[in-house]
Structure 1
Amino acid sequence: MLNPLPFDELTVAFARIKGLLLTEEKVDRAMRGLVEAAKDAIPGTVGAGISVRDREHGGPAGCSTDEVLKQEDAAQLEAGQGPCITAWTTGQAVIVHDAATDARWPLWRQAVVSLPIRSLASAPITAGNGFIGAMKVYSTLPSAYDAGTGQLLEKLGVAAATLLSNVQGPQTPRRMSESLKDALQDRDNTSRACGILMERQGLSPEQAIRELFRLARANRSTVAQVCLEIMAGSRRHAAK
């Protein structure tokens, strides 16, 4: 159903922001470009957006490609339930095959029944050990998305997390710079860990990144920590 972007293309978002001073204005523009890319990359998608859970450190409040998702986002916050809230509280992607009949969030369903949303996919945006928001897409047709949609959103969420976690405030340019370096290091570690899994288990790049997410969830850890453990294990193996 999907034609996922190659894993290497996910590094483009990081490369474009490397060395920038990430003001709120620049982050907002970059996030808008990211949601437009998600809309264009996923077949059947009418709109895409990013919902931000915690604005404690300031920065953009999220963005969307159309007014429908803004209304849907407000409905979730008012109802206190919905697919994005579930995505960031469980740390797992959520697929809604038909919003008109999905019984998991009755208050949310009632709130969006008048909106042209039938299918929706949402994936958490992870920063450090917590979830700071969710990335989502919707379609006006039922059953438009599957598990592969959630996996693609999770990968696009890596770029979103870097942007949202590194907004430059008036007091924090140095902290932002260090955090961006850490994020870029995590990206490089992810590439190395994927390479190890590909060689060790004969996986494709797509299968390798899926395995990283699986291991992180199984161990209740982060992808970054799993990558470090895989690389450490490879070094121990090479030393024997």
Structure 2
Amino acid sequence: MINARGRRESAGATDPVVLQADKLQYMLGIGPCLSAWAEQRPILIQDITRETRWPEWTARITGLPLRSVLSAPLTTEGRRIGAIKVYSSAPNAFDDHSVFLIERLATPAAVMLGNARDREATERMSSQLVEALSNRDLISRAQGVLMERMKLTARETLTVMLSASKGGDKPLHEIAREIVNGMTNQ
């Protein structure tokens, strides 16, 4: 999968060997799953020992019990989500019918994963919005404290707080929290 930050990651695997093969693809930036994703088409390797498209990747996985690979892109509404793949320890494990089946599986899987990703993004954005509103309220309260104590305007209090933020190398909301907490501790 391509995660929300654009990094490649395996979302699930049935065997640690699969994770090793995937990790090598991500490290090298080449391999059948990455090609299926990039080219938006199924990729079939009948025998890894005879594969020539990704020589560095195939050379590095020769010690793993993998001989055949079938990978298909996960795409929904034009968004490239990742790829689904099946590895086999036997050569020539996959045929045209296998390609047909993985493509049929990839479509609903992509929809499901795309919806899950959208839901996570919405939840993340919602929590960030709640935090931003909370910080805004805290900053406003701190401004009120400074306006009352120092007889400053709202703009002047913001300048004071921004200066303290830069000088103390702290986020503005932390400076605001210190001002408000200082008020309640007195």
Q: TM-score, normalised by structure 2?
A: 0.59
Q: Kindly indicate whether residue 122 of structure 2 is the aligned counterpart of residue 171 of structure 1.
A: yes
- The match for 2:103 is 154
Cα deviation for residue 57 of structure 1 reads 8.5
2:44 corresponds to which letter in structure 1? I
Which deviations, in whole Å up to 9, do the C-alpha atoms of 1:144-189 show, x marking residues without a partner?
A: 111221221111112211221112227349xxxxxxxxxxxxxxxx
Judging changes above 3 Å, is the alpha-carbon distance between structure 1 residues 152 and 170 closer, same or farther for their aligned structure 2 residues?
closer
Residues of 1 paired with 2:75 and 2:26: CA distance?
A: 19
Residues of 1 paired with 2:12 and 2:85: CA distance?
A: 11
1:55·1:61 contact (CA, 8 Å) conserved in 2? Answer: no
- The match for 1:86 is 35
Judging changes above 3 Å, is the alpha-carbon distance between structure 1 residues 89 and 115 closer, same or farther for their aligned structure 2 residues?
same
Judging changes above 3 Å, is the alpha-carbon distance between structure 1 residues 107 and 164 closer, same or farther for their aligned structure 2 residues?
same
2:10·2:19 contact (CA, 8 Å) conserved in 1? Answer: no
List aligned pairs for 1:58-73, cutoff 5 A: 61-73=10-22
- The match for 2:87 is 138
Counting aligned pairs with the same residue, the percent is 35
List structure 1 runs of 4+ shifted beyond 4 angstroms.
none
- Count of residue pairs the alignment pairs up: 122
SS in 2 for 1:63: coil
2:122 corresponds to which letter in structure 1? Q
2:120 corresponds to which letter in structure 1? G
Normalized per residue, the structure richer in helix is: 2
Judging changes above 3 Å, is the alpha-carbon distance between structure 1 residues 78 and 91 closer, same or farther for their aligned structure 2 residues?
same
List aligned pairs for 1:121-136, cutoff 5 A: 121-136=70-85
Cα deviation for residue 130 of structure 1 reads 3.0
Cα deviation for residue 105 of structure 1 reads 0.2
Which deviations, in whole Å up to 9, do the C-alpha atoms of 1:185-205 show, x marking residues without a partner?
A: xxxxxxxxxxxxxxxxxxxxx
Judging changes above 3 Å, is the alpha-carbon distance between structure 1 residues 169 and 115 closer, same or farther for their aligned structure 2 residues?
same
Residues of 1 paired with 2:107 and 2:53: CA distance?
A: 27
SS in 2 for 1:77: helix
2:75·2:110 contact (CA, 8 Å) conserved in 1? Answer: yes
Higher relative contact order (CA 8 A, sep 6+): 1
RMSD of equivalent CA atoms: 2.4
Residues of 1 paired with 2:113 and 2:10: CA distance?
A: 9
Unmatched tracts of structure 1, length 5 or more = 1-51, 174-240
Q: TM-score, normalised by structure 1?
A: 0.47
- The match for 1:44 is none
